[in-house]
Amino acid sequence: MQIDKTKPVLVTGGNGYIASWIVKYLLADGHDVHATVRDPANSAKTGHLLKAAEGSRGKLTLFKADLLKDGAFDAAMQGCELVIHTASPFVIKGLKDAQKELVDPAVMGTKNVLDAANRVQSVKRVVLTASVVSVYGDAQDMSDQKLKAFTEAHWNTTSTVTHQPYNYSKVAAEKVGWEIVKKQSRWDFITINPGLVFGPSLTTASDSTSLSTIKELANGHLATGVPNMEIAIVDVRDAARAHILAGFTLTASGRHLAVSQSVTMWQMVQTLKARFGNGYRWPMMVVPKPVVWLMAPVAGYSRKFVSRNAGWPLKFDNSYIQKDLGLTFRPVAETLGDHFQQMLDDGVLKPR
């Protein structure tokens, strides 16, 4: 699929943590960008995008669009051959109604954007920000399925709206995408399935769980300790580049796991401590699983979540994305270190 590079690229949720890097790279590469946001007048949420556009070779235009409003993306999509659909809430704590807060925007929003692609005749390719959580639900799934690592062939079959609702929202949205694309032949569909994304943020106004996770490792929130849990990490700059490569690589196809490496939370702490020293309220230890299980409800997690995720290995085969898109990954230490440094520079984190 050949995409005309002189046509604008639509990025939905353009002010988000990952999308901001996609927009910045596109503009720097000389592409015109149509970015949708919920509130273009909110300078706290869009100022960094306007700054990225200054002095870049591309032109940025902001459009207002809500995932739940039918037809909201049509205007922004006009004239675009490439659509990069990133908008979807990434929140896992403090949910009151997961269906309404997570699943509806993810699933109905994806349908809304793809229905617009069916109407807007210029569209040739849609790249969806999916997730590793559409290939698995809980780390235990890997052992249950007797796998050494998850690949693009696997699907999350264990998440529901009550157990791992964010994971459920992502697999349900991705499935909707693969269903809709089958019914036509004008545009094709590619997914980028990132692991947990870390790395410097261009915005301090995002609600992404990526940003709160790094903060909680150093601000005393987890001072007692961390569970023995493995996390599949990818750098935000690599995840952003993956979307752009998927958009413009003629031969690209299918799903793409974007994971640099799996590390434990304790390894993350040790990596950060080695670079930034003892002046932070780091977790003291790895908390034994029975204690984590007992205390889970107090920390806002279910005991089932702890049972099925703490102490289980979690691995991903990242060979396809390297072959299909030519993507290379930054080392995890650089990703975490650059993220932490950005938080210090922006005053989001302070030494104790």
Ramachandran area for residue 2 (φ above 0: left; ψ -120 to 50: alpha; else beta): beta
Query: Minimal CA–CA distance to 143: which of 296, 257, 308, 277?
Result: 308
Q: Please say which residue, 226 or 242, places its beta carbon nearer to ligand NAP.
A: 242
Check residue 88 for interaction with ligand NAP (CB under 6 A).
yes
Check residue 68 for interaction with ligand NAP (CB under 6 A).
yes
CA distances from 127 to 57, 145, 247, 272, 349 (A): 23, 29, 6, 33, 33
Binders of ligand NAP: how many residues, by CB under 6 A? 28
Q: Which SS3 state, helix, strand or coil, does residue 196 take?
A: strand
Least distance in angstroms from the C-beta of 4 to ligand NAP: 26
Please give the full DSSP string across 240-304, using - where no structure is assigned.
HHHHHHHHH-TT--EEEEE-SEEEEHHHHHHHHHHHH-SSSB---SEEPHHHHHHHHHHHT--HH
Q: Please say which residue, 33 or 287, places its beta carbon nearer to ligand NAP.
A: 33
Q: Please say which residue, 15 or 335, places its beta carbon nearer to ligand NAP.
A: 15
Least distance in angstroms from the C-beta of 86 to ligand NAP: 5
Q: Give the residue, chosen from 25, 63, 90, 187, that forms a contact with ligand NAP under the rule CB under 6 A.
A: 90
Find the binding residues for ligand NAP in span 122-161 (CB under 6 A): 129, 131
Q: Which helix (H) or strand (E) holds 214?
A: helix 209-218
Q: Can you tell me the distance from the alpha carbon of 125 to that of 122, in angstroms, rounded to the nearest whole number?
A: 10
Q: Please say which residue, 237 or 293, places its beta carbon nearer to ligand NAP.
A: 237
Whether 131 contacts 192, CB under 8 Å:
no
Q: Which stretch binds ligand NAP (CB under 6 A): 46-54, 61-69, 117-125, 150-158?
A: 61-69
Q: How many CA atoms lie within 13 A of 17 on its CB side?
A: 26
Q: Which residue is nearest to ligand NAP (CB)?
A: 16
Q: Please say which residue, 59 or 100, places its beta carbon nearer to ligand NAP.
A: 100
Check residue 66 for interaction with ligand NAP (CB under 6 A).
yes
| Catalytic (active site) residue 51 | no
Find the binding residues for ligand NAP in span 205-224 (CB under 6 A): 206-208, 210
Find the binding residues for ligand NAP in span 244-283 (CB under 6 A): none
Joined together, the tokens standing for residue 206 give 């995002």
The whole-angstrom distance between residue 224's C-alpha and the CA centroid of its chain comes to 28
The DSSP secondary-structure symbol of 234 reads E
The active-site residue out of 111, 124, 170, 273 is 170
Q: Please say which residue, 122 or 335, places its beta carbon nearer to ligand NAP.
A: 335
What's the maximum distance between 2 C-alpha atoms anywhere in the chain?
57
Q: Give the residue, chosen from 87, 123, 269, 343, that forms a contact with ligand NAP under the rule CB under 6 A.
A: 87
The whole-angstrom distance between residue 12's C-alpha and the CA centroid of its chain comes to 13
> Which positions are catalytic?
170
The residues of the shown chain that bind ligand NAP, judged by CB under 6 A, are 13, 15-19, 37-38, 45, 66-68, 86-90, 105, 129, 131, 170, 194, 196-197, 206-208, 210
